[in-house]
Structures are given as C-alpha cells and as structure tokens.
Structure 1
Amino acid sequence: MREIRIFQDAELNIGDTVHLDSDAAGHVSRVLRIQIGQELTLFNGDGCEYTAPITAIDKKNVSVEIRTQSLKHNESPLAIHLGQVISRGEKMEFTIQKAVELGVNQITPLTSERCGVKLNPQRMQKKVQQWQKIAIAACEQSGRSHVPKIHQPCTLEQWSREPSDAMKLNLHPKAPYTIKTLPTPTQGVNLLIGPEGGLNDEEIAMCSSFGFIETQLGPRVLRTETAALSAITALQCYFGDLS
C-alpha cells in the first residue's frame, strides 16, 4: 500500500492523539476511505515525519496516535527562491506545484508592467492562501517535510532590491551566460522569471542594477511556466541533487 502523507499545522509529539483538521479528515474518510488501524504519515514542516495509525474515524472526524518520529533527509543542498511574475489562470498554480516538487524553498509572486493579472487586495490574499495549499499538497505528494513559503506578492522592483547574498539570475534568451557556465552558488539562488510577454528593457536594466545576472537556457524563447521549471531543473542538475 502506498504511503499516505498528510500535512498538519500543529505541534506533533510521540504518544499524542491528534485530531486531523477538517480538510484532511474529509480526504481520509470520504475520498481515501481508510479504516481504523491503517497508518498515515504526518508532517508539519519541521523536517520530520511522524507515523500515526488511525484510532477513530467517522465522516467528519479522524483521530490518530503518533507512534514514531524520524528526520527526513531529502531537501536539496541548493536553496532556490523563485520570484515568479504572476501568470494567468492555472499556469501560476502549475508553476508553484511543479517548482515545489523540484525543490524550491521560497516563492514570491511578482507584478510587473506586462503582468496580465490584476486583482484587488482581498482577491489576491485568497490567491496566496490557495497557492500555499497547492505548495502543501505538492509536499504531500513529493515526500518533502519542509513546506516552502509562498510570500505576499510584491512588485518586481521591491523584490529585486531586497538585500540578499544569493546569486541573482534573470532568464533572457540572448544572455551571454548559460546556467552551466555559472560559478557554483554558495548562498543559494534568487531566480527571476518574467511574465508571459517578458520584462521590458527598463525592467531588465533595473534588475541588472540590483545585481541580477542575465542567463539563458538555450536559443529558444520559452513560455513563462516552461522557463521556470526548466531553469529550476537545470540548477538542481548542476548545483543541487537532481541527476
């Protein structure tokens, strides 16, 4: 039987009885139809996993007892902070999901001149909550026990000017450097991915003034979601833990 991993935003200790939150309880009881005695794997973002058999279950409530705790060692040695200009519809959700599976540590949604998504603050906050849930679900699926943070959206300039010791990269199809020619990042990478229409010349120049290195993946122009996942994969292959 496959491992069933469930995120719980709570302190977890051996011997505790834990009542799963409503979303998790509904998924376990109504979707997975798991029975008493079957074992779940819980995690809360502290880097550990907790085995917990089900001790009580009905349509709305699921209780488990935590039996063991173990440290999970599957985080990449390369810390990647993805700055992604918000894309339309499901593209942003897809990018977040796959970026988490590939091992990014942080994601900041960005706005720029050519960003095609305009939302009021209330709707944007709901989007952030939805994106964080997508990141959690990607951790449940991929076996990660550290949950990447989805930061509050900000402008491209605000994110670019934030102090950081990380290597800053801006993808550009005509850049003089490729990822494989970069020096090994020692303090992680801040990876900037522009909107579907690309960054304008002024934005590219601004990012360069804040230390971003223009880098290419190849001679072809990629869609924003393709560019993000291709760049993360390449970075993990050269400097992380993909082989």
Structure 2
Amino acid sequence: MHRFFVPQLYNETMTIEGVDARHISKVLRMQPGAQLQIVSDDGVSALAEISAIDSECVTVHCLEKLAESHEPAVRLILAQGLAKGEKMEFIIQKAVEMGAYSVVPVAMEHSVVRLDGAKAAKKVERWQKIAESAAKQSKRDIIPEVQPVQTMAQMLAANDCATKIIAYECEDKKSLKAALKEAQAKGALTDLLLIIGPEGGISEAELETARAAGAVPVSLGRRILRAETAGLVAISAIFYETGDLGD
C-alpha cells in the first residue's frame, strides 16, 4: 500500500498537496474510496481513504491509526565522508531504506569532492529529496534528515551519541561486533554515530579527532571496502546484531 508523509498534525481529515497529490491523481490514478497510508508531522501513521481528489489536492479521511512501527530500536546516524559522482546519492538512498535516522555528509581531508556555500546547499536539497523518496518506498515512519555538509569536528559536536564508531581500515584489534557488544553491556546502544570515510580514507588527524570525542575505531573485516559499500555493510551488521532484521 502506498504511503505518504503529510506535513500537518494528525486529524481525522487531512489534505495531501503538491507533488504527492499529482502523483496520486496522475500517476497512480487513484479515485475516491481508494485507501493509502499517511504519516503526519507528529509521527502518527494511519490508514486513510480518499474522499476527494484533483491534480493539486487530495483529501483523505483517516480510518484507523496504525500501531506497528517500522523504525529500528537503535537511532543510527551515518556520518559519511563525501564520495564522488552519484555515490552519495546511492549511499543516502540505501542508508534510509535500511533504517538510518539521519545522514551527515562530512567534508574530510581525503575527500575528492569539495562542496561549500550554495553548491553544498543545492546538493543537500537534492539528497533530502532522495531520502524522502526512499523513506516512502521503504515505509519508514519518519523522513530521515540529510544534515548540512560539515567538517569532522562540526559533525562530532552536533551529533553527540551514546555510542560512536569509526570504521578504520588500519584497525586490526577491535571488530565492529566486539564494539557493539561492549556498548550493549553498558546500555549505550540507544543511539549510535557511525563514521565512514571517503574514497581516500580517513586521515590520522581525523581519526584522533574522532577518538578524542569518544569514537571507537573498528575493523569491518579482512577486506577493504569501497566508500559506497562500507557504510551499508556496517549498518546491516549493526541492525542484525541489535535484532532489527528479525530473530
């Protein structure tokens, strides 16, 4: 069933406007009486029925609230070193599908891509649209935020999670699994910051900055993963270990 995010507080009667209204009327060709799911601005998911429709506005009547949550127990923030080309779009899309709470594009020392000012803002706007589309497709209860492009220090200051993990290719002592078990034992696996480097990797200075902020360096295995692969592998492993992928 199709799901739409409605930027209004929950009410028995709600309106879907703009691009989503045109998609419902012109692409999906839904008619009055058809049912869909809505998620309101205050986080309420509901089954709704279309009562009136045109190309610019769809009015729905909410039939029942949906109790089932599609969100992981762990609030995971992915801090991704800027990757070139369409790789960032791919990473953001898949991270949102998999359950990331937020994505932070990080301008790192070894990033090939350089973004600032208006160019950075325009990219973030596009990435946010990709996140919204992925949230709809995967039936998320929220639209994860793509935060503004930040430096490592800015990102760490703005995202002070209980557990911070940085994937580092030279780490040969601690695995991701071991770090997660330690965090679980401390009861600190409620929110997690996952830091992934760009194509050129994480510099020693950035590693030390992350360490100073409490981030634990971990290995993702014996093979070197690409920038667009590492974060997705780590997210999968984290949600598997925390039971989000099923018993």
Within 5 Å, which residues of 2 pair with 1:1-243?
3-14=1-12, 16=13, 18-162=14-158, 164-175=160-171, 176-182=173-179, 183=182, 184=184, 185-243=188-246
Q: 1:155 is matched by which residue type in structure 2?
A: T
1:45–1:147 Cα contact (<8 Å) kept: no
CA change 1:161–1:65 in 2 (3 A) is closer
CA change 1:162–1:4 in 2 (3 A) is closer
CA distance in 1, matches of 2:132, 2:50: 21
Q: 2:10 is matched by which residue type in structure 1?
A: L
CA change 1:147–1:45 in 2 (3 A) is farther
TM-score (norm 2): 0.89
CA distance in 1, matches of 2:114, 2:95: 23
CA change 1:172–1:120 in 2 (3 A) is closer
CA change 1:45–1:173 in 2 (3 A) is farther
How many residues are aligned here?
A: 239
SS of the counterpart of 1:67? Answer: strand
Unpaired stretches in structure 1, ≥5 consecutive residues: none
CA distance in 2, matches of 1:162, 1:10: 27
Q: 2:211 is matched by which residue type in structure 1?
A: S
Q: 2:163 is matched by which residue type in structure 1?
A: M
SS of the counterpart of 1:71? Answer: coil
CA distance in 2, matches of 1:174, 1:225: 18
**TM-superposition CA deviations, 1:161-214 (whole Å, max 9, x none):** 457252111111231111111212434211001111111222222222222211
CA change 1:199–1:52 in 2 (3 A) is same
2:8–2:41 Cα contact (<8 Å) kept: no
Unpaired stretches in structure 2, ≥5 consecutive residues: none
After the TM superposition, which of the residue ranges 97-106 and 154-163 deviates more from structure 2? 154-163
SS of the counterpart of 2:66? Answer: strand
Structure 1's consecutive aligned runs of 4 or more residues displaced over 6 angstroms after TM superposition are none
CA distance in 2, matches of 1:192, 1:240: 21
CA change 1:164–1:128 in 2 (3 A) is same
After the TM superposition, which of the residue ranges 155-164 and 131-140 deviates more from structure 2? 155-164
CA distance in 2, matches of 1:82, 1:211: 16
1:178–1:215 Cα contact (<8 Å) kept: yes
2:161–2:193 Cα contact (<8 Å) kept: no
